[in-house]
Each structure stands twice: as C-alpha cells, then as structure tokens.
Structure 1
Amino acid sequence: MNAIFGLVSDTAASAIWAMVVASLLPLAMALTAKMFGGFHLADNSHPRDFLQNTTGAAARANAAQQNSYETLPVFLAAVLVAMLFFVPQLIINTLAWLYVLIRIGYCVAYITNLATFRSILWVLSIACCVMLFYLAIRVSV
C-alpha cells in the first residue's frame, strides 16, 4: 500500500533507502565543492587542504558536506530507534524522506548563501529526527 499520493511506501525498505540517500548526501556535497573549486587530480594527494582553501560556493558546499556528516548519526539513530520500537512504518518513512528532502534543500540554501533559510531548514531537519525519537518514546510507554 502506498500513501501520500503513492510517493512514500509503507515498507521498511523505504526508510532504508532514505538512510542510504542521506548517507550519500555528504559525498555529493564533497563532489560539488570540488567541482566548484576547480579540483584537479593532482589535488587528490591532499584533498582536505584543497577544500580548506576554497572560497565562495565551493567553501559553502564543503561546509554543507561537514554539516551533513554531523547530523547523519542523529538521523540514522532516530530511524533505527523508531523501527526498533515499532512506530508505524508509514510515519517513519514519511519523516525519513522529509528529512532527506529538507537536507537537500539545506545544502542548496547553503551553497547559494541563503543563511536564514538554511537555518530554518536545519531546524526542520532536526525536528524530523526529534519527532522519530518522540514517537518511539510514546510507543514504548
């Protein structure tokens, strides 16, 4: 059975795919930072030094990469805890994919230097994680 106009499945595979996509988002931001920064194969001997010396959109994409790594463990834990405590799968999937979509928007806002919008999206993405933890607590009581 599909919900939300067939966009979100009610199987656990959907949440797992959301975790995979969220886990690949930092890599996508690293590649974006390198592309915007003019990365060459010769820079691969010290890629962190290269990224540290970028400016503008490349530096912001690198910062989005770092923030994506920072929030990823919270998201992964929230999804797994919600699944462990049998929060309804459709709710888990919806919040998981909402997190992913918000994080993509966050990265775009970061790269395009929309600081206030970026901060709002960050709060909303963390709210998805908090909601998953909250629902797991409610189900376990």
Structure 2
Amino acid sequence: MTLAQICLLVSCLLPMGCALLAKSKGFGKRRREGGFDNHNPRAWLAGLEGWHARAQAAQGNSWEALPVFVAGLFVAHQHQADAATVDALAVGFLAARLTFIGLYLADLATLRSLAWTTGLGLSLALFFVR
C-alpha cells in the first residue's frame, strides 16, 4: 500500500471519527436520559450544541471534501504522476483535514477556513501533477 493510499483510507475514516465524537455526548446514557437516539438519529444530532455540534458539522464537511481528493488521486494515478509528489500532496491533504477538524472542534473559524482552503488546494493540485 502506498503512502497516498494510506492517506486515502484514513481520509475515508475521518467522517466516521467525527460522527463518533459528535455522538459521544450520548454514550453511557439511556435514550430517555438524553443518550443517543438510534430510532431518530438526525433529530438527536440536530439538537447538539457546542463542540459536539461542531463535530457533527465536521463530519458532513469531511464527506464533502472526500470526492475531490479521491478524484485527484485517480487522475494523478491515470497520469502516472511521480509517486513521491502524489504522496506528499496526499499527506498534506490529510494533515490539512486533521487540522481542519481540530480547529472546527475548538471553534477557531478563520483558521479552520484556512485549513479547509489548504486541503482543497492540495486536492486540486493532484489533478495537475505529472
């Protein structure tokens, strides 16, 4: 498995990690006591506040960022791009996404937007690497 493929796998798991963080507020509690409601999960998640709500938003954004990264890796592979360059861009993307999630949880909006932009730029760069 290449480094870029490992980054892809981790990136695919990031949304689920964010979901786990969001739902952690309900761990160990019964549904009637405010615990996670698997019968009506969207309504329960919509009622979250603070960093739990931001973790849920980060989950959605992680899903949104994934297709551009996947497509970029696909195009780079089709072009038989330099593996070291692709690996570096993939590591950069993953680092930007992890930073984005941390900044989202910490409610640092401006820095979070910068991390998001960096990740998008790295994904787009994969389309042009040779």
Percent identity of the aligned residues?
A: 36
> Against the structure 1 CA distance between its residues 57 and 17, is the aligned structure 2 distance closer, same or farther, given a 3 Å change threshold?
same
Equivalents in 2 of 1:76, 1:56: separation in Å? 31
The match for 2:81 is 87
- Specify the code of the residue in structure 1 equivalent to 2:63: Y
Is residue 19 of structure 2 the alignment partner of residue 30 of structure 1? yes
> Against the structure 1 CA distance between its residues 79 and 50, is the aligned structure 2 distance closer, same or farther, given a 3 Å change threshold?
same
Is residue 56 of structure 2 the alignment partner of residue 62 of structure 1? yes
Equivalents in 2 of 1:41, 1:76: separation in Å? 38
Structure 2 unaligned residues grouped into runs of 5+? 32-36
The match for 2:8 is 19
The Cα RMSD (Å) is 1.3
Structure 1 outlier segments of 4+, above 4 Å: none
Equivalents in 1 of 2:106, 2:62: separation in Å? 16
Structure 1 unaligned residues grouped into runs of 5+? 1-11
- Cα deviation 1:68-122 (Å, max 9, x = unaligned): 0001011011011101111101110111111011100100100110000000000
Equivalents in 1 of 2:9, 2:46: separation in Å? 27
The match for 1:113 is 107
- Specify the code of the residue in structure 1 equivalent to 2:95: L
| 1:122-137 aligned within 5 A | 122-135=116-129
- Specify the code of the residue in structure 2 equivalent to 1:71: A
- Give the structure-2-normalised TM-score: 0.90
Displacement after TM superposition at 1:41 (Å): 6.3
Displacement after TM superposition at 1:38 (Å): 2.5
The match for 1:8 is none
Equivalents in 2 of 1:100, 1:24: separation in Å? 11
- Give the structure-1-normalised TM-score: 0.83
Equivalents in 1 of 2:41, 2:115: separation in Å? 28
The match for 1:4 is none
> Against the structure 1 CA distance between its residues 78 and 41, is the aligned structure 2 distance closer, same or farther, given a 3 Å change threshold?
farther
